[in-house]
Structure formats: structure tokens, C-alpha cells
Amino acid sequence: MEIVSLSIPYLYIIHLTIIGVRVGATLLFAPIWGHPGLPQYLRIMMVYSIAAGVSAITPFNPEAYTNPGLIIPTEFLIGMLLSVGVRIAFAGLHMGGHLISTHLGFSAAQTIDPGTLNRSSLVSGFLTMLGYVLLLASNQHHTMFKALANSYIAFPVGTSIAPQQWFGMLIEASKQMFIIGWKIALPVFIATFIVDVAVGFISRIQPQINTMVVTAPLKILVGLMVLGASLAFMPRAMGTVIETLVLKK
């Protein structure tokens, strides 16, 4: 007669929990899976279901769990650094949207950004949602899962990382936020600047024209047209920063 063991697998629970720290930091810091609109129980189920699959192929090393006070913060830092490239790319989209809204006069119209639960302009919300679509359409979420799985080969559980392995690359990757924002906003800036110059010349020729009434809707019309035309180059503007891993072995 086979006896069913009712003993609690403490070592496996510890192993699953430690792996869940890195998995949770990677997914919940990413733009889509970290969306505040997702219920908490779905987040917990998603993190631990993926952690259970990863723990099945990750070897258990009892010596790596001798100092949990050091392992847990390190695992959280590694997971957060795995998805920081995606977060920087979306911060660049958000910045570009704010620049365009301010220049077109849309900054007064504020909405609630579902990703950050803060006030956001209309163009920023639109570009952020478009970024979600591009992220899923280009299968970059698969790249994140591959990077998460490969991180256990490059950085096994219990590995300590030095600031030299990530701090310099994090600063370099952070610069891309401003570059992406200006790449997206620059076509609109140039087009509206040309409109301002043209209206200025016309007002010198025909002083009777009320330039304040003409300029505002004309800038909005031209700005939105240029923004719509430049969306085709949005993936190129984002470049490869969405795939950037600021952590090196």
C-alpha cells in the first residue's frame, strides 16, 4: 500500500518564492503587466504560475538560500533591470506626447493615465496606448520572457551583482527617454513653426487679419496631420531601446 506524504515541501516553497521575486519584479515593472487596472489576484496568479514553470527548470541550490536578506533584494533588482528598457521607451512616448500637447494647446485638457494613475495629456495617452499595440504586435513581450528565462543562466539564484554591471548602462539607457520624446515631437514642432512664420508674414501684409483667431486652429490642424503622418516612423524612433538590457554579466 502506497502511503501519501502530507509533509509540506518547505524547500520547494522557498525556491518558488525566491524565483517569484525576480519574475514579479520583471512583469509588474513592465508597462502592460504592471497595469494598475489588472486585479491583484490576476497579478499574483500570473507571477506564481510563471514562477512555477521557471522553478521546474531552474536547479535548486540550497547554499544559495543561506542569506535570504541579501538574495531577495538582489533578485528584485535583477528583475527590475530586465524590463527597464521597455519602461524607458514608454517614458519617452509619454514625454513626446506632453511636448506636442503643450505646443498645440492641448495641455489644458487633462485625462487620467491608466498606466500611472496620474494626470496626462490627450496626446500622451494616445501615444502610450499606441505603444502598447506596437509592443504586442512586434512580439516584444516574447523577448521579455526569453530574457527572463535566460537571466537564470547568466545570473543564477544567489548571484550578487556589482554596480559596475548595471549603473553605467542604466544612465546611458535613460538618455534615450529624451531622444525618443524629441524624435516624436520634432516633426510637429517644425510644422507648427512654419505655420507661425507664414502667419507672421501674412499679418504684415494684411494687418486686418486677426492672427490670434487664425493661428490656433491652423496649428492644431497642421500639427495633427503631421503627427498622423509621422506615426509610421514611430517604431524607428523608438529604435532598439525597448530591447535594451541594462544588466550585463
pLDDT more than 90, % of the chain: 0
Place of cell 533591470: 81
End-to-end CA, the chain: 51
Alpha helices of the chain — where are they, by DSSP H?
10-29, 40-57, 68-82, 84-104, 122-137, 140-154, 167-205, 211-230, 234-238
Question: What does the domain layout of the chain look like in residue ranges?
Answer: 10-243
Model pLDDT for residues 95-113, shown as the tens digit of each residue = 888 888 888 878 777 776 6
Segment 186-205 mean pLDDT: 86
- In Å, what is the CA distance from 140 to each residue of 30, 143, 161, 172, 239? 11, 5, 26, 21, 13
Residue 119: strand pairing partners: 112
pLDDT digits (tens, 9 = 90+) for 212-227: 777 888 888 888 898 8
* Long-range residue pairs from 5-12, CB within 8 A, at least 24 positions apart, any chain: 11/60, 11/62, 12/55, 12/60
Residue 245 binned pLDDT confidence (cut-offs 50, 70, 90)? low
Span 66-77, mean pLDDT? Answer: 81
Q: What is the per-residue pLDDT for 195?
A: 87
* pLDDT of residue 72 exceeding 60: yes
**Which pLDDT score is estimated for 4?**
47
Is the pLDDT reported for residue 188 higher than 50? yes
The answer to whether residues 157 and 58 touch, using CB atoms and an 8 Å cutoff, is yes
Has residue 32 got a pLDDT over 80?
no
Q: What is the pLDDT of residues 45-69, one digit of tens each?
A: 888 888 888 888 877 777 666 777 7
Q: Distance (Å, rounded) from C-alpha 84 to C-alpha 169?
A: 11
Q: Is the pLDDT of residue 2 over 60?
A: no
Residue 1's pLDDT band (cuts 50, 70, 90): very low
